[in-house]
Chain A
């Protein structure tokens, strides 16, 4: 009846073994202390079992030495857990520079992914093995959470902001995606598959399928159709600030302060332009809250990003802009990974 009886999830990312190491340490500590208590209870219960009706126990009031011992030892062990867990958390939540970026939008009840080159998927995510992948995630409605158990990574996907997560798949194969933040009727159907492929297979996959253009192309079109281009002129003569080359750089704000032009700032400035106005400009841009979808937002951001990448100091994700089939970006060099060898 149960042919499939796993005891432990696969280790399919470079992070998985690191998480499991902490897990095994905690299992070992827990097993030790649980066994210790159980043995003491059993031995004491048997050895000191009441033998006659009026028997009473010894009046022992306590021992400072013992209290200190069983305060300090557990404290020391838990501090090891704390430091190890915190280090791991930093590692798991900070994507390395140059990670390949994929945008993910969660909505009731599906996952939509957009690759930089314009490829789109629903409830599927194709990634290359051996290369860090960073997911930039937003939600169109309620809170979701993106979980790949075999990679040991998870992050909530929250409306109104972007959360990120990253991983490096280490083994070709197909792995579960689960939504882990309860989101309504079909929460348990908001699932999908990650397909990790060898680099060569991945390039082939990217090359296939109908494509209307990159995300940045789509964003450029929106930039025209929403008439953003009438104010955000490249000449610097427009009523809005110049966007070319601005991504990733600090922006001086009206009323003091600066903010780095990142995804979150762009998002906020499109939806609620008056929140943080660039110095020297009037707050005349209309809010686009409710007028653009999450996916369109991401396309607009990708477009602004692509303008930034052409600026004097590219902010470090050029790899993702490589056209399919042009393996010029160093990490994507197709090392001959046997297709399907991991299945």
Chain B
């Protein structure tokens, strides 16, 4: 399998800046997104590093509390709105969705480019807010602190989130229309790759949820700027209303972050076991179930806010329900590996890591859905640990796994596998060292968002900071070898993994319009061996 030349493709089809900034090619737009979210990832990571350094000691000695408050706020805003939410959909989703459905592009290529410009504009507001002094409300913008008390750049940062929300909505719209209207002949819904199902479910949340966060931050700006009483009781408003509106979006937003990673893991597990998924329909529908039920659980953020106990009961039981489809996915991935031809290549290592860490993240979510227990752990480091297991252990592991899996397709080149394995291991170890101690210190009672803390919590914070250093290294290593690989690594060829799927049938990197002739699909996804048993699925 010696490959020496690369034909005309989306990368060498025009070189000028203009050919990139005015491109309508979904693959180039994916690259634009990749570059911008990587920038935000390292910006958010830099804030995280400063937070961890400050927390080495119980006193606020490295930075002042005001600075610390701005650091965790900017870390949250940047990571949530400018990295995690766009991460997989805007990069891998943009690149792969049209190819996976056998289309030449997304349904609305111009809108796709527009969504990137909107994202950049929103990002610019956030960067300006950070550069001119920052915001200190926490990424949650709780009123009335954000509307009446904070002396920071709340409106600027809020506008950044407001604006970037539209890029999310447009991407979701594009994905939904493309999935409905542009599938290749023979590509029925139940032959779709599971990554497409997860993108579809994610897009539903983006379209239905994002307008609510946009309205919410707008209302914050209105109350703050015009003193109209909406949330502040001193002006006749209701602060709990803010929390309902905020979490109505921001809880489903968690699923915007994790569903795409689940889709990536489904693809990786199949490709690196050379085996079709166990229980295709269950995995596909569990994505939709998560998206739908995920809209009905927001009140579990308000158990100690004095919300009606009976409302709390409903939110509690629905929160347990939403855990079930996640569990189903974990069991199905595990069952898929059974009797597979299991490779230990780096994408699969990330998949193993994802399944393990997401399992812990999901299980610890049950602690928070359990009302009587949530009273104690609410707003402590237990919650910080829980959602970092889901978002970093889950979403970022999935993102990195996907990036490794499809890197040869995106760039046409391999990467140094030894280094990749080393980085995957470093990320896994660093991650656990950072966040596992936070479960313990959280149950001990250390509150989140504390610049200063009681001395008995120090040992766990030192462990966390040590872990964060390892984790940081684990993120920088792939950055280095990916850049190195662009010129130096061996060419990949169409299908370096021996995987199945439309994306592996076309050259790497793909030509501008993906397919010379429209493909005709005759079977489901990831079929490697002839059917042995009759089971469910199609």
Q: Which residues of A contact B (CB under 8 A)?
A: 2, 4-9, 18-19, 22-23, 26, 29-30, 33-34, 37-38, 40-41, 44-45, 48-50, 53-64, 66-67, 70-71, 74-75, 78-79, 81-82, 84-93, 108, 141-143, 145, 147, 149-150, 152-156, 158-161, 163, 176, 178-189, 191, 289-290
Contact = CB atoms under 8 A, between A and B. Distances in A.
A91 B531 contact: no
Given A9-B444, A50-B342, A158-B240, A82 B320 contact: yes
A48 B273 contact: yes
Most buried by B among A18, A41, A66, A155: A41
Name the 8 nearest CB pairs between A and B, nearest first.
A149-B445, A88-B372, A160-B233, A57-B275, A85-B370, A61-B535, A57-B340, A89-B371
A59 B275 CA distance: 6
29 contacts: A9-B444, A19-B375, A23-B373, A29-B363, A29-B366, A37-B355, A45-B344, A50-B274, A53-B498, A56-B274, A59-B527, A59-B532, A60-B275, A62-B278, A63-B279, A66-B331, A75-B324, A79-B320, A81-B320, A82-B320, A89-B312, A141-B148, A153-B375, A159-B239, A180-B448, A182-B145, A184-B69, A184-B149, A185-B69
B104 interface: no
A85 B371 contact: yes
A219 to B, nearest CB: 22
Contacts of A186: 65
B276 interface: yes
Contacts of B530: 59
Given A70-B328, A178-B447, A158 B306 contact: yes
B372 A84 contact: yes
B279 to A, nearest CB: 4
Interface residues of B, number: 105
Interface in B278-307: 278-282, 303-306
Contacts of B327: 70-71, 74
Interface of B: 60, 65-66, 69, 136-138, 140, 142, 144-145, 148-150, 232-234, 238-240, 273-276, 278-282, 303-306, 309, 312-313, 316-317, 320, 323-324, 327-328, 330-332, 334-335, 337-344, 352, 355-356, 359-360, 363-364, 366-367, 369-376, 378-380, 440, 443-445, 447-456, 458-459, 462, 498, 527-537
B309 A108 contact: no
Contacts, number: 323
Given A2-B459, A9-B444, A159-B233, A78 B337 contact: no
A179 B65 CA distance: 15
A30 B360 contact: yes
A67 B246 CA distance: 35
A149 B379 CA distance: 12
B276 A59 contact: yes
Given A89-B309, A185-B66, A33 B371 contact: no
Contact of B528 (A38, A57, A71): A57
Nearest to A19: B376
Contacts of B324: 71, 74-75, 78
Given A61-B280, A61-B533, A78-B366, A188 B342 contact: no
Given A41-B334, A143-B239, A57 B372 contact: no
A161 B233 contact: yes
Contacts of B280: 61-62
A154 B537 contact: no
A79 B323 CA distance: 11
Given A63-B535, A142-B144, A158-B305, A7 B440 contact: yes
Contact of A57 (B303, B334, B339, B379): B339
B384 to A, nearest CB: 12
A53 B1 CA distance: 13
Tell me the interface secondary structure of chain A in the complex: mixed
Given A48-B337, A85-B371, A142 B65 contact: no
Contacts of B332: 62, 67
Contacts of B234: 159-160, 289-290
A73 to B, nearest CB: 9
A6 B65 contact: no
B339 A188 contact: no
Contacts of A75: 320, 324
Given A75-B324, A181-B379, A58 B69 contact: no
Contacts of A61: 276, 278-280, 531, 533-537
A149 B375 CA distance: 10
A58 B275 CA distance: 6
Contacts of A50: 274, 341-343
A191 B370 CA distance: 27
A22 B370 contact: yes
Given A61-B280, A62-B282, A160-B238, 9 more contacts: A45-B337, A58-B529, A60-B338, A71-B324, A158-B240, A160-B233, A182-B449, A183-B149, A188-B449
A160 B305 CA distance: 13
Contact of A60 (B343, B352, B532): B532
Contacts of B498: 53-54
Contacts of A4: 455-456
Nearest to A141: B149
Contacts of A45: 337, 342, 344, 352
Given A30-B366, A85-B369, A5 B445 contact: no
B451 A57 contact: no
Given A48-B342, A163-B306, A188 B452 contact: yes
Nearest to A148: B445
Given A56-B341, A78-B366, A5 B459 contact: yes
Given A62-B537, A87-B372, A154-B304, A37 B378 contact: no
A204 B142 CA distance: 42
B373 A188 contact: no
A137 B108 CA distance: 54
A54 B341 CA distance: 9
Contacts of A71: 324, 327-328
Contacts of A34: 356, 359-360, 363
B100 to A, nearest CB: 20
A82 B309 contact: no
B279 A156 contact: no
A27 to B, nearest CB: 8
B339 A26 contact: no
A30 to B, nearest CB: 4
A301 to B, nearest CB: 17
A147 B233 contact: no
Contacts of B531: 59, 61
A63 B277 CA distance: 11
Nearest to B535: A61
A244 B258 CA distance: 59
A76 B73 CA distance: 39
A268 to B, nearest CB: 11
A33 B360 CA distance: 9
A176 B445 contact: yes
A150 B456 CA distance: 13
Contacts of B340: 44, 48, 57-58
Given A33-B363, A70-B327, A176-B454, A161 B306 contact: yes
A50 B337 CA distance: 11
A185 B273 CA distance: 52
Contact of B69 (A62, A141, A180, A187): A187
B375 A154 contact: yes
Contacts of A62: 278-282, 332, 335, 535-537
A186 B450 CA distance: 9
Contacts of A108: 149
